[in-house]
């Protein structure tokens, strides 16, 4: 039992409880992965057959890391464990059992782009308004239905759903769902939601299959259980019904995916499903300093719906959490970039030690601009992945069509790429003929002269080429087959002949894909190495797995949702403003607001040593400059853990001695914040720890500034009261430099400034 010596008491107790239902509540940074891997290794050491263990994760990366650790502890037996993402594990089962629900074993897995393409075709055929029935909203509606295990018929026969669709003026959503499901079935394709939806169908309708896997998986572990949706919950509950040796691991405080169907009630109500449940709480955080952990605790304590725990850290106290205020989103970017430059140079850090987290992707613009101006290398995490590039998707479409000729989306993508004289009109005729005769489009292509009047000869050549690829894939390795298809499809030649910079990049990307397939072909840890197996692997990659450049020395920019599971020494959380974070949409209900607070908790707990939170007092939104109020979440943080940094100058006031003399500097004093006595302006009276935006005078009205003079006192509706220092330029583009009492010096263009003149020259 020496191998358990490195676990703390609660971790060890959770590992040793191998029988019956178990829930491990794992606080942020508490060694969750360590506990899961030790528990699986302990099962095997206690005599459990590794073939009877199922471990479900949410990323392939997590599964790979766990398997490597388990291998170090128990050796080759780790290879036999059924371990992977929900989608990859159940895709594997569906490959074996697909015929029972009418699918071929070589079914295609559609990604989001494929699904959208199918829906666009359906919307076009039904002549529906693509603004009312936008592809994204329709796909989200169908995804939600599948996650709730609603078939198209059940969807259309549900009065409440139909009433909702009628009120949104989209009464045909049910019909679209039905047609979409038919198209996927005809193409021998499943989308990501289908991999769970069809698994539920398989287990529900086929007792022999259900019994087979219930007795196969005698011990089940589920990671990140708080992120499971209804469909995943049902599968797990069904599979564990016989043995009830089910262990779920998660943290309700990190449940942040309700928008994609995750149901926090699955973890909150787990004890109702299993009354004899054993609960273990992992509360020691090994990642973050004490101050960071304390801040996270003070935030999440405001949520009413939670499983109570007290997370603590025995690491150093650490720096206080810095709160930075900027006067605009662009200035916020500059402050963050400056802070990163300073910390890196003074502490000898790398760029990859820093991460900038934001609520929405749109916030990256001001951050990117500031980083570029400072020459700071950065990467946007979760941007366009390698496998989403056009040239990669084109070659993969050839692979897909080779293995599944029924794949309509793959056929439409490559039938005329590279160009072979098969125009859109011909493709439309193929689709119509297929619908009319109950065939797949490739069936029509095979007998083009029979179904299409004046069919181009290139159709026959295309069909023959695909059939030749099918022969090649049966007789050659994954790499040899892929290289053959890349060459003989004409794709490789087409890219090679494009000598532009973009063309060369695309050609290099194809070479990189082929290199990856060659590496796959030479792996010793897998038995099946065919191109079809490689295809399934990449179809099931999560965003985290697709990132090819994650080890580069760059500052990481990402949404907070994308940051879950990651950690960084230095973290900047930006845009902490009301209606941005928390988002405006979250303010309609307590449950939505609590999810936003959990999202903030996740952001805070990504930081290991230093955490900085910033907000702007103004921000452009849809081309209009709006005033912003600091987020309520900042006020919820216990003030004793905070350091307020309101000393940054507006960009226009660099080098101003008057600004240096009168700038606002906040200091900590007796658990309240006030300005130093030396400051020339009185303290701001506020119930918050933060200075609020200026409230205009009741009679505020912009004045005619055509005769504005140096020395005049003015009021700005956002910046407050100030004194005109200089005027420069000619009408109508005169610029005024004004010192505002609350925020310091700013330079404004008079024709847009909307100033109210308070008094004459002093």
Q: Which residues are catalytic?
A: 32-33, 223-224, 254, 606
CA distance 663 to 54: 61
Q: Is the dihedral of CA 421, 427, 430, 434 positive or negative?
A: positive
Whether 235 contacts 199, CB under 8 Å: yes
H-only helix segments in 455-589 = 457-475, 478-488, 491-496, 501-521, 531-539, 543-546, 560-563
CA distance 518 to 511: 10
Instruction: Write down the residue that tokens 């309240």 correspond to.
Output: 672
Neighbours of 102 (CB within 10 A): 9
Q: Is 689 helix (H, G, I), strand (E, B) or coil?
A: coil
Rounded to 5 degrees, φ, ψ at 162 are -65, -35
581-to-292, 306, 588, 590 alpha-carbon distances in Å: 19, 21, 14, 15
What DSSP string describes 323-349?
A: EEEESSHHHHHHHHHHHHHHHHHHHT-
Instruction: Write down the residue that tokens 């350091």 correspond to.
Output: 643
Task: Find the angle CA(61)-CA(386)-CA(494) to the nearest 5 degrees.
Answer: 150
Tokens of 54: 């199922």
Tell me whether residue 589 is exposed, middle or buried, using C-beta atoms within 10 angstroms of its C-beta: 0 to 12, 13 to 18, 19 or more.
exposed
Whether 149 contacts 127, CB under 8 Å: no
Q: Is 731 annotated as a binding residue?
A: no
Q: Is 26 annotated as a binding residue?
A: yes
Strand partners, 739: 723, 745
Q: Which helix (H) or strand (E) holds 570?
A: strand 568-573
Task: Find the angle CA(625)-CA(630)-CA(633) to the nearest 5 degrees.
Answer: 140
CA distance 331 to 348: 25
Q: Is the dihedral of CA 371, 377, 381, 383 positive or negative?
A: positive
Q: Which helix (H) or strand (E) holds 669?
A: strand 667-669
Strands 642-645 and 312-313: unpaired
Q: Which helix (H) or strand (E) holds 203?
A: helix 192-205
Q: Is 500 annotated as a binding residue?
A: no
Q: Is 680 annotated as a binding residue?
A: no
Nearby residues of 65 by Cβ (< 8 Å), 6 or more positions away: 33
Q: Is 433 annotated as a binding residue?
A: no
Q: Report the chain's terminal Cα–Cα distance, integer Å.
A: 84
Q: Is 185 helix (H, G, I), strand (E, B) or coil?
A: helix
Tokens of 416: 């005329």
Would you give the distance in Å from CA 323 to the centre of its chain? Answer: 26
Q: Is 188 annotated as a binding residue?
A: no
Neighbours of 368 (CB within 10 A): 17
Q: Is 137 annotated as a binding residue?
A: no
Q: Is 28 annotated as a binding residue?
A: yes
Whether 485 contacts 395, CB under 8 Å: yes
CA distance 305 to 286: 25
Report the binding-site residues: 26-33
Report the binding-site residues for ATP: 26-33
């Amino acid at each position: 039992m020496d191998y358990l010596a490195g676990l703390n008491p609660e971790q060890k107790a959770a590992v040793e409880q191998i029988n019956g239902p178990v829930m491990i509540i794992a606080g942020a940074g508490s060694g969750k992965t360590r506990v899961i891997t030790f528990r699986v290794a302990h099962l095997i050491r206690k005599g459990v057959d590794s073939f009877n263990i199922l471990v479900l994760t949410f990323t392939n990366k997590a599964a790979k890391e766990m398997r490597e650790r388990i291998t170090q502890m128990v050796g080759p037996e780790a290879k036999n464990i059924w371990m992977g993402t929900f989608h990859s594990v159940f895709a594997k089962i569906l490959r074996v059992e697909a015929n029972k629900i009418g699918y071929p074993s070589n079914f295609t897995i559609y990604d989001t782009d494929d699904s959208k393409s199918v829906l666009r075709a359906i919307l076009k055929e039904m002549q529906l308004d693509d603004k009312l029935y936008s592809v994204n909203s329709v796909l989200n509606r169908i995804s939600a239905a599948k996650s709730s295990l609603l078939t198209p018929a059940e969807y259309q026969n549900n009065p409440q759903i139909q009433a909702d669709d009628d009120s949104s003026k989209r009464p045909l959503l049910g019909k679209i769902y039905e047609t979409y499901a038919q198209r996927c079935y005809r193409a021998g394709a499943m989308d990501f939601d289908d991999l769970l939806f069809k698994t539920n169908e398989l287990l529900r309708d086929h007792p022999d299959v259900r019994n087979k896997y219930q007795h196969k998986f005698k011990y089940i572990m589920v990671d990140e259980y708080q992120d499971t949706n209804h469909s995943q919950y049902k599968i797990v509950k069904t599979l564990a019904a016989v043995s009830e040796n089910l262990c779920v691991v998660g943290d309700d405080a990190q449940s942040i995916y309700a928008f994609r169907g995750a149901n926090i009630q699955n973890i909150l109500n787990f004890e109702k499903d299993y009354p004899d449940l054993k609960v273990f709480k992992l509360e020691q955080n090994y990642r973050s300093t004490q101050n960071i952990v304390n801040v996270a605790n003070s935030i999440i304590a405001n949520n009413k719906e939670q499983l109570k725990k007290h997370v603590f850290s025995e690491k150093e106290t650490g720096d206080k959490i810095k709160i930075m205020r900027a006067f605009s989103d662009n200035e916020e970017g500059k402050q963050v970039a400056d802070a990163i430059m300073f910390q890196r140079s003074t502490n000898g850090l790398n760029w990859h030690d820093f991460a900038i987290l934001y609520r929405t992707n749109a916030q990256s613009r001001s951050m990117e601009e500031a980083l570029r101006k400072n020459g700071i290398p950065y990467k946007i995490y979760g941007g366009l992945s390698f496998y989403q590039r056009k040239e990669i998707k084109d070659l993969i479409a050839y692979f897909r069509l080779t293995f599944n000729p029924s794949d309509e989306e793959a056929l439409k993508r490559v039938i005329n790429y590279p160009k072979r004289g098969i125009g859109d009109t011909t493709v439309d005729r193929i689709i119509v003929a297929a619908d009319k005769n109950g065939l797949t489009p490739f069936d029509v292509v095979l007998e083009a002269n029979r179904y299409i009047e004046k069919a181009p000869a290139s159709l026959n050549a295309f069909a023959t080429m695909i059939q030749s690829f099918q022969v090649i894939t049966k007789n050659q390795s994954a790499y040899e087959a892929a290289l053959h298809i890349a060459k003989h499809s004409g794709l490789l030649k087409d890219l090679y002949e494009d000598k532009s910079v973009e063309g060369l990049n695309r050609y290099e990307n194809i070479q990189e894909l082929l290199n990856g397939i060659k590496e796959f072909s030479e792996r010793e840890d897998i038995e099946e190495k065919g191109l079809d197996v490689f295809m399934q692997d990449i179809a099931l990659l999560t965003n985290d797995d697709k990132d090819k450049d994650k080890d580069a020395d760059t500052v990481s920019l990402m949404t907070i949702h994308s940051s879950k599971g990651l950690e960084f020494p230095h973290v900047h959380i930006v845009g902490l403003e009301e209606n941005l974070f928390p988002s405006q949409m979250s303010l309609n209900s307590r449950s939505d607001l609590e999810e936003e607070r959990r999202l903030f908790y996740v952001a805070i707990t990504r930081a290991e040593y230093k955490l900085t939170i910033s907000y702007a007092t103004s921000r452009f939104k849809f081309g209009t400059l709006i005033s912003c109020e600091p987020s309520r979440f900042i006020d919820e943080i216990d003030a004793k853990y905070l350091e307020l940094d309101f000393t940054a100058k507006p960009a226009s006031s660099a080098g101003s001695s008057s600004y240096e003399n009168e700038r606002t500097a906040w200091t900590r004093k007796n658990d309240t914040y006030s300005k130093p006595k030396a400051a020339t302006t009185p303290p701001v009276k506020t119930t918050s720890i933060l200075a609020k935006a200026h409230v205009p005078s009741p009679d505020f009205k912009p004045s005619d500034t055509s005769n504005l003079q140096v020395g005049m006192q003015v009021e700005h509706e956002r910046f407050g009261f100030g004194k005109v220092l200089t005027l420069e330029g000619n009408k109508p583009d005169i610029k005024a430099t004004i010192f505002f009492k609350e925020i310091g010096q700013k330079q404004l263009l008079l024709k847009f400034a909307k100033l109210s003149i308070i008094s004459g020259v002093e």
